[in-house]
Structure 1
Amino acid sequence: MPGAYLRVKCGDCENEQIVFEKAASLVGCAVCGTTLATPTGGKAEIEHEIVETVEAR
């Protein structure tokens, strides 16, 4: 399986954003800029609450 998308909730501003679980670059919140995911070479380190796994379309 190539990877999934996760709905992540920012702990600072409560914004929910969809992030690829194997993100290759730093992912910041679109509202406040807080780091949501940090790349590790495999699955990204998600630094905030994962709300759900979004199904592939």
Structure 2
Amino acid sequence: MAGNFYNVQCPDCENEQVVFGKASTEVSCAVCGVTLATPTGGKAEFEGEVLDVVENRTVEAE
């Protein structure tokens, strides 16, 4: 996958939400509606604090 997911904390209500790093649309907080990420044509610009990078998970065939 070409991009990472980030755990972002809302600057207003402190809700933690996972956001795609190359978001193509504006991402709002699910709790209070504040903008968390704004698209820039490449990597999104985050308004809240980035707490962690969510690791890529691969599914192994059984």
Question: TM-score scaled by structure 2?
Answer: 0.89
Give the counterpart letter for 2:28 in structure 1: G
Task: In structure 2, list runs of 5 or more residues that go unmatched.
Answer: 58-62
The residue that corresponds to 1:18 in the other structure is 18
> How far 1:28 sits from its partner (Å)?
0.1
Q: How does 1:46-57 map to 2 (within 5 A)?
A: 46-57=46-57
Paired residues, number = 57
The residue that corresponds to 2:33 in the other structure is 33
In structure 1, C-alpha distance between the alignment counterparts of 2:53 and 2:20, rounded to whole Å: 10
The residue that corresponds to 2:60 in the other structure is none
In structure 1, C-alpha distance between the alignment counterparts of 2:25 and 2:11, rounded to whole Å: 20
Task: In structure 1, list runs of 5 or more residues that go unmatched.
Answer: none
Runs of 4 or more above 3 Å deviation: none
In structure 1, C-alpha distance between the alignment counterparts of 2:40 and 2:11, rounded to whole Å: 21
1:8-57 superposed Cα distances (whole Å, 9 cap, x missing partner): 00010010000000000000000000000000000000111000000011
Question: TM-score scaled by structure 1?
Answer: 0.96
